[in-house]
Amino acid sequence: MSEDEITKENSNEETEDRGIIEPCGEINEINNDLEEVSRALDEATRSLETTVQQAPGCSTAVVSGLSKQIIEEMNSIEANCLVSFTDLNVQNKSAAVNPFLQREAKEALARVISARGQTLVINSAYRTLPQQLMLYNQYRNGQCGIPIAARPSTSNHEDGLALDVDDPRGWEPFFIKQGWRPLRGDPPHFDYKGGGRSDISNIAIKAFQRLWNRYNPNDRIAEDGDCGQATLSRLNKSAIAGFGVSTVETASRLTTRTLRLSKPYMQGDDVRQVQEALVKVKISVTADGVFGSGTDKAVKQFQQQKGLTADGVVGAATRIELGL
Ligand SMILES: [Zn+2]
């Protein structure tokens, strides 16, 4: 698509009523506060029965468990409808950031980043239904200083085509060249307006509906991709830790231990997950579930690439960068 076509398409879209414009800067400030995020994640791990409606605190990182399940389910409905961009030169601000975009948007983003040749700091990307519902609840209840939030399934962060970034004016020319457009009145926000976009909001809703029905066979709802009251009320009743996460054993997958080189070596599925994530970003390591010196070296290499302290210790920041 030529520049002119993109510009034309963009000006057409600007006349469309997209509903309300959310103040992304203000929302992200609350959402990415690191203390708030770590409290939220602790809470999600401890209180496996806490629902979206009861979600504590202000960071939407608290619904990470449920969010991950919905994204997985979406990709099982339509393969690669959302793809991770953690393999690019990006730094995600917190665990509230779901580092996913539609494929064409990600490819355009890769060109943006390589053209500028520096790390892009991401404040917000894909927002899942429970994240948006949490913001919407906060807004309606006058909590967390959320001045306005869109009804779930209508936010522009739910289409897999939106990003909020640090230094937006510095990045703007690079984004524009690759089919992305800034959103007036919302400084950190860019939308991908280039080719290959599709509407994935009904896939997200259907993914939630399928999950709900699978775990609540006696309270089935229509799997119609429509975010009506029946769906919203079930979403509010869903556990923030995710479906089927109700025992100590399954909870362990949410509990994250800090991984490092030690004697004896640390072993387990969590080590294997880290190794597999490293392999995915083209760092050479054997995914054997044992944290030996090879893994230590690989982690340090990854941390160096991402501008983190290269200490070989896999804590929250490294996990986030690995997309775990
Ligand atoms: Zn935004």
pLDDT in tens, 265-309: 888 888 999 999 999 999 999 999 999 999 999 999 999 998 888
Q: 4 falls in which pLDDT band (50, 70, 90)?
A: very low
Average pLDDT over residues 307-314: 89
The structural domains of the chain, ordered by start, are: 3-192 (3.30.1380.10), 266-322 (1.10.101.10)
- pLDDT on residue 1: 41
The more confident residue out of 28 and 137 is 137
Tens digit of each residue's pLDDT (9 = 90 or more) over 229-259: 999 999 999 999 899 875 544 444 455 678 8
pLDDT at 58 over 50: yes
C-beta separation of 81 from 74 below 8 A:
yes
For ligand 1, the distance from its centroid to the CA atom of residue 186, given in whole angstroms, is: 7
> How many angstroms does the Cα of residue 127 sit away from the middle of ligand 1?
10
Spatial CA neighbour of 287 closest among 267, 303, 304: 267
Instruction: For 143-193, write each residue's pLDDT tens digit.
Output: 998 989 999 999 999 999 999 999 999 999 999 999 999 998 889 999 999
pLDDT at 22: 85
Ligand 1 centroid vs 215 CA: distance in angstroms? 32
Instruction: Quote the ligand 1 centre to 165 CA distance (angstroms).
Output: 8
Rg, Å, the chain Cα set: 20
Q: How far is the CA of 162 from the centre of ligand 1 (A)?
A: 6
| Rounded CA separation 222/208 (Å) | 11
Tell me the CA–centroid distance for residue 62 and ligand 1, in Å. Answer: 19
pLDDT above 90 coverage of the chain, percent? 64
Query: What pLDDT is recorded for position 28?
Result: 86
Mean pLDDT for all residues in the chain: 87
Q: What are the residue ranges of helices labelled H in the chain?
A: 3-15, 24-31, 34-46, 64-77, 103-116, 129-140, 168-177, 201-215, 229-237, 248-251, 269-280, 293-305, 316-322
For residue 193, give the nearest of 11, 24, 18 by alpha carbon. Answer: 11
- Which pLDDT score is estimated for 7? 38
The C-alpha atoms of residue 48 and residue 239 are separated, in whole angstroms, by 7
Distance from the alpha carbon of residue 293 to the mean position of ligand 1, in angstroms: 41
CB-CB contact of 149 with 142 (8 Å):
no
pLDDT band with cut points at 50, 70 and 90 for residue 48: confident
Q: Average of pLDDT values for 58-62? A: 89
Contact (Cβ atoms closer than 8 angstroms) between residue 303 and residue 310 = yes
pLDDT at residue 202 in the model = 94
Query: Cα(306) to centroid of ligand 1, in Å?
Result: 23
Cα-to-centroid distance, 188 and ligand 1 (Å) = 6
Residue 26 pLDDT level (bands cut at 50, 70, 90):
confident
Q: What is the pLDDT of residue 73?
A: 96
User: Is the overall model pTM greater than 0.85, yes or no?
Assistant: no
Distance CA 149, CA 170 (A): 27
The stretch 206-213 carries a mean pLDDT of 98
Separation of alpha carbons 28 and 11, rounded Å = 27
Q: How far is the CA of 274 from the centre of ligand 1 (A)?
A: 29
Q: Write out the two tokens for 297.
A: 């070296």
Which is more confidently placed, 194 or 184?
Answer: 194
Label residues 302-318 b or e (16+ Cβ within 10 Å = b): bbeebebeeebbbebbb
pLDDT at 217 over 90: yes
Q: What is the pLDDT of residue 120?
A: 95
Tell how far the Cα of 124 is from the centroid of ligand 1, in angstroms.
7
Distance 225 CA to ligand 1 centre (A): 24
For residue 283, the CA-to-ligand 1 centroid distance in Å is 31
Q: Which whole number is the average pLDDT over 43-69?
A: 86
Measured in Å, residue 69 CA sits from the centre of ligand 1 at 23
Q: Which of 255, 287, 256 is nearest to 274 (CA)?
A: 287
